[in-house]
Amino acid sequence: MNQPAVVPVHTAVPGRARFSVAGLKRNEGVRHALEAGLAGRGIEWVRASAATGTVLVLFESGHDLVEITRRLSEAAERALDPENARADPARPAWHAMDADKVLGAVDSRRSGLSGAEVKQRLIATGINAIPPIRGRTQFEILLSQFRNLPIALLGAGALLSIATGGLLDAAIILGVIGLNGAIGFIAEARAEATISSLRESRAPVSRAVRDGRECDVPAEELVPGDLIQLRRDELIPADARVIAANLLTANEAVLTGESTPVAKAANVVAHQLAAIADRHNMVFRGTVVTGGAGRAVVTATGPETELGRIQSLLSSEDQPATPLQRNLDQLGRQLVFGSVVACGLFGAIGLIRGFGLLSLLKTVISLAVAAVPEGLPTLATTTLALAIQHLRGRGIVIRRLSAVEGLAAVDVACFDKTGTLTLNDMSVVRVYWNGTRARLVGEEFRTEHEMPVDCATDRELARLLELAALCNDVELLDTSAGNGSATEVALVRAALAAGLDVEASRARHPRRATLQRAEDRRYMLTVHDASDGQRLVIVKGDPREVLALCEWRLHDGVVTPLGPGDRSAIEAENLAMAESALRVLAIAYRSAVAEERETQTRHDFIWAGLIGMADPIRKAAPGLIEAFRRAGITSIMLTGDQKATAAAIAAELGLTNGSGEEIVEANQLDDFLAEPKPAADLPRVFARVAPGQKLQLVKTLQRRGLTVAMVGDGVNDTPPLRAADIGIALGRSGVEAARGIADVVLLEDDLAALPIAVERGRAVATNIRKAIRYLLATNLSEVIFMLVAAAAGRAHPLSPVQLLWINLLTDVLPALGLAMEPADPDTMARPPRDGHEPVISPAEFGTLGRDASLIAGSAFIAQACAARFGGSAQSRQTVGFASLVSAQLFYAFACRSTSRSILAEPNLPPNPFFLGALGSAFAAQAAALFLPGFRNLFGPPLGVGDFGISLAAGAAPLLAIEAIRNAQLTRPSASQ
């Protein structure tokens, strides 16, 4: 059967999604099966409706839409056709087939495909790439400008104006709609283009078997039937059936949400309906190899992979609105409702007062239009997009609009240590063998007494370095270390510096088997041929675990028992190296007969020695930690190093005082997770943590209500990067998997850019609130002015044209100018913004009501003064109009800062865009008042006295508001 249609219907609210499921409607059996099949891990509540054919799912924040969609698809497939759910011949149950049968089904062999076969299959299947979720077209963006409630209210107003004969009013309303639509379209089209331009252009590389030999090929060129090598810390490029595995494990959190690595094997999984999490002989695109090694045959590429199928379900979905956009949409709806109530009240007062019905209706329509800030929907998109463009110029790539908001709310920043806080440029600096200590200076080993050590005469040091170079995956290029991890490259370089011929040593001792380190085994084991026909088994890794495997030591060429005193000396040296911020590896070896299972765990190894390596911290790292501390952000370092090494590095970074009291080891993690703590009391370092535990920690912090950023660079950082509220990856040294999944990418690996990004995020959040305060207060002032005037018996305090002009002039440009304010000097000295707080708090609504009343009251008094001096009704109307516009534009200056008064600090940071917007608005108002062509629309010209009254009435609210603010800020109890 074909895959049942599971289509996301509504996914805008985090942790909540509604889906349409084909076959559910009017089928109670399917309803029960879906609710039962989807319940469980990470799902808080499920409700399927046979009446509507939809399923509503509430899920934990750590689980994303991809995972929920995949699980619902599987549940629907089983519910609709339990007997033949996997019988589709186009998608065989590869996991239920023998490995050789799979090879035959995909027309492949254990020597791999030929180059000619690959070319033919590429033509047939296409490249191994999942098409990105389609962005909106320009036409869709344009239409979206007119699909909101405020614009609908404007359109209704235009229709009513036409119906009542107000063609001019209708033309102005349509002009308002057109201007807002144009501004919104330009802003959102630029935002869409900015987001689209951030897609990665670098193609990842995979290790494949072609024409009988291993080679690196672009992952996009993989085809079904290709044999791929699976290696630790690599991203799996396609869905594949495992045909050989050596202690292979994979993290499948991207598909299943489970952080625990899954053991993989080549044996058959008998159950054809096995869920993805139970297909232990399959690996899937987007998941990560966490341990061991293996080989697999590709069964699906690109859109046909499990990840591709899920993304195809989401491709029709618009990008979810950001939390701020949702808040603004909700606020806009509330304002429309409030506007309708206010207009109804104004109309009722007018009827009671006996105002003319037709003129009253026109005024009500105009008031309804003027009272709603149509610029709200445009405001968030424009401001966030401009922030993305600004940060890109600083080497910071932001992929999602909502990530800018998220940066403002970060409470905790989790940093992977190696390669993120450090340079991942390892070098051997100290060695310890047979009771001797030495430093590597340049290309020479020197003892603590500065005596040179020659490996030609000290065979035990030579043996230690040779073993480290053999138990090593670095590829040699000529006579130097080539590709490999920074740690293993450093070991080979040390051996070469000592004069060892690593290539010849590897030729004498070819490797026969490998046991890669894993989350539950912190060492690597290799098996080599020995010259006497036996096997040489080498272990390299965590000093404590390697020492526990040893019973013997090599002393002056003789193997002797490893006594308690020897163990104590080794442990003391390990601690001394670790406290010097060195990563310490232990080396041991033993002999084995060829028939023995050499990779089995035994405790009869011969101790060889310790090697200490330095990894310099990034120059900007301590400054970053301090900047975050001042900003109220808790920084946490995650490392696989032992506790003493972690403590020394943390002290160097300024995370801790070096005592080790603020450090939690992996074996203590469960106790920490069970004890809720506020961000300020969290441990600053987690040592000896495995990749899966990073994800576990991030999810735990999120469940405690904290906004978490994860900063990493490696493949094993991808699960926590994806789960975090903000995933941040290094662009230059970071792997493709981390860059591809992160919300934020530091192009030049400059950690000093992170505080800049956080500051911009906070500034954006603050500025949007400034703009919203301005819009709410000024629109509310118009409503108050009209209601008070009507209550006082003034039939026409403002004409419909004047109301519409105020709406056109004072809504969009001043608000956008405020949204582009530079960051306040104390932005990074404040605590993070609560991501759950409303856009405008109840206390702020009270302040806005006061400000709106001052603006409306000043304009009302100006009209009264004009009447007292004998002005006509029309001239009084013009005075009120001019006063209200002036007061609203002047009020924008008061909105530039809520923590400072311009009376005390008149020199706020320059904002040319704001000044340009206000200057343009004042110029347009002057033209409306004084140019002959406009005077017929906006009333008679103002005399000198009336003009002075209008200016005074415009400036008075600003002075009053700033005087109140200055008094509040200078009180002894004030926070500033």
- The residue out of 724, 749, 774 marking a domain boundary is 749
Q: Please identify which residue in the block is written with the tokens 């959102």.
A: 188
Report if residue 760 sits inside a domain. no
Given pLDDT bands bounded at 50, 70 and 90, which one contains residue 918?
Answer: very high
Q: Are 207 and 216 in contact (CB under 8 A)?
A: yes
Task: Determine the pLDDT at residue 575.
Answer: 94
Q: pLDDT tens digits for 803-832?
A: 778 877 887 788 888 988 888 888 899 888
* CATH number (domain holding residue 549): 3.40.1110.10
Residue 250 pairs with which residues in a beta bridge?
262, 289
Question: In this structure, are 172 and 269 located in the same domain?
Answer: no
Residue 213 pairs with which residues in a beta bridge?
210
Known catalytic residues are: 416
Question: What sign for the dihedral angle of Cα 448, 451, 453, 458?
Answer: negative
Mean pLDDT of 590-614: 83
* CATH number (domain holding residue 283): 2.70.150.10
Question: In this structure, are 224 and 301 located in the same domain?
Answer: yes
In this predicted structure, the answer to whether residue 317 has a pLDDT above a threshold of 50 is no
Mean pLDDT of 723-736: 85
Question: In this structure, are 823 and 916 located in the same domain?
Answer: yes
- The residue out of 314, 330, 356 marking a domain boundary is 314
Q: Please identify which residue in the block is written with the tokens 């000290």.
A: 458
Given pLDDT bands bounded at 50, 70 and 90, which one contains residue 661?
Answer: low
For the ranges 609-618, 845-854, 966-975, the lowest mean pLDDT is seen at 966-975
* CATH number (domain holding residue 821): 1.20.1110.10
Report if residue 975 sits inside a domain. no
Report if residue 389 sits inside a domain. no
Total length of the chain: 976
Mean pLDDT of 930-935: 76
Question: In this structure, are 156 and 22 located in the same domain?
Answer: no
Q: Which amino acid is at 566?
A: D
Question: In this structure, are 812 and 796 located in the same domain?
Answer: yes
In this predicted structure, the answer to whether residue 670 has a pLDDT above a threshold of 80 is no
Mean pLDDT of 270-274: 77
Q: Between residues 889 and 53, which one has the greater pLDDT? A: 889
Task: Determine the pLDDT at residue 527.
Answer: 92
* CATH number (domain holding residue 676): 3.40.50.1000
Q: Are 852 and 869 in contact (CB under 8 A)?
A: no
Helices (H), 633-680: 643-653, 669-673
**861 CB burial (10 A radius; 0-12, 13-18, 19+):** middle
Question: In this structure, are 258 and 155 located in the same domain?
Answer: no
Mean pLDDT of 877-883: 89
Question: How does the average pLDDT of the chain come out, rounded?
Answer: 83
**Number of continuous H segments (helices) and E segments (strands) in the chain:** 32, 32
Given pLDDT bands bounded at 50, 70 and 90, which one contains residue 202?
Answer: low
Cα separation, 166 vs 613, whole angstroms: 82
Q: Are 953 and 858 in contact (CB under 8 A)?
A: yes
Question: In this structure, are 237 and 182 located in the same domain?
Answer: no
Rounded to 5°, angle at Cα 938 from 933 and 943? 90
The packing angle between helices 376-392 and 812-819, to 10°, is: 30
Question: In this structure, are 155 and 107 located in the same domain?
Answer: no
Domains held by the chain: number: 5
Question: In this structure, are 908 and 817 located in the same domain?
Answer: yes
Q: Between residues 903 and 354, which one has the greater pLDDT? A: 354
In this predicted structure, the answer to whether residue 314 has a pLDDT above a threshold of 70 is no
Give the chain's end-to-end CA distance (angstroms, integer): 68
Residues 6+ apart with CB under 8 A from 669: 686, 689, 693, 696, 697
Question: In this structure, are 435 and 328 located in the same domain?
Answer: no
Report if residue 86 sits inside a domain. no
Residues 6+ apart with CB under 8 A from 98: 268
Q: Are 855 and 957 in contact (CB under 8 A)?
A: yes
Given pLDDT bands bounded at 50, 70 and 90, which one contains residue 903?
Answer: low
Question: In this structure, are 273 and 350 located in the same domain?
Answer: no
Report if residue 387 sits inside a domain. no
pLDDT above 70 covers a percentage of the chain that reads 86
Report if residue 62 sits inside a domain. yes
In this predicted structure, the answer to whether residue 478 has a pLDDT above a threshold of 70 is no
Q: pLDDT tens digits for 373-411?
A: 766 666 777 788 788 888 888 889 887 777 888 899 899
Task: Determine the pLDDT at residue 480.
Answer: 57
**Which SS3 state, helix, strand or coil, does residue 711 take?**
strand
Cα separation, 750 vs 752, whole angstroms: 5
Closest CA relative to residue 859, chosen from 781, 942, 962: 781
Q: CA dist 233 to 214, 236, 249, Å?
A: 18, 9, 10
Given pLDDT bands bounded at 50, 70 and 90, which one contains residue 89?
Answer: very low
Question: In this structure, are 666 and 793 located in the same domain?
Answer: no
Given pLDDT bands bounded at 50, 70 and 90, which one contains residue 87?
Answer: very low
Task: Determine the pLDDT at residue 944.
Answer: 80
In this predicted structure, the answer to whether residue 610 has a pLDDT above a threshold of 80 is yes
* Domain of residue 476, residue span: 427-614
Q: pLDDT tens digits for 114-169?
A: 999 999 999 988 999 887 656 667 887 788 777 766 677 677 777 877 877 777 76
Report if residue 1 sits inside a domain. no
Q: pLDDT tens digits for 483-507?
A: 677 888 899 999 998 999 999 999 9
- The residue out of 687, 714, 749 marking a domain boundary is 749
Mean pLDDT of 284-290: 86
Q: pLDDT tens digits for 31-76?
A: 777 877 776 666 777 888 877 888 888 877 656 677 788 788 878 8
Cα separation, 974 vs 976, whole angstroms: 5
Given pLDDT bands bounded at 50, 70 and 90, which one contains residue 869?
Answer: low
Residue 941 pairs with which residues in a beta bridge?
none
For the ranges 214-223, 859-868, 911-920, the lowest mean pLDDT is seen at 859-868
Q: Where are the beta strands (DSSP E) in 617-721?
A: 634-638, 663-665, 685-687, 708-712
Task: Determine the pLDDT at residue 702.
Answer: 86
Mean pLDDT of 211-227: 93
Query: DSSP state, 132?
Result: P
Closest CA relative to residue 637, chosen from 650, 651, 623: 650
Q: CA dist 90 to 186, 505, 695, Å?
A: 45, 50, 35
Q: pLDDT tens digits for 533-561?
A: 789 999 999 999 999 999 999 888 889 99
H or E segment at 338? helix 323-353
Report if residue 87 sits inside a domain. no
H or E segment at 491? helix 486-497
In this predicted structure, the answer to whether residue 717 has a pLDDT above a threshold of 90 is no
Task: Determine the pLDDT at residue 877.
Answer: 84
Given pLDDT bands bounded at 50, 70 and 90, which one contains residue 326?
Answer: low
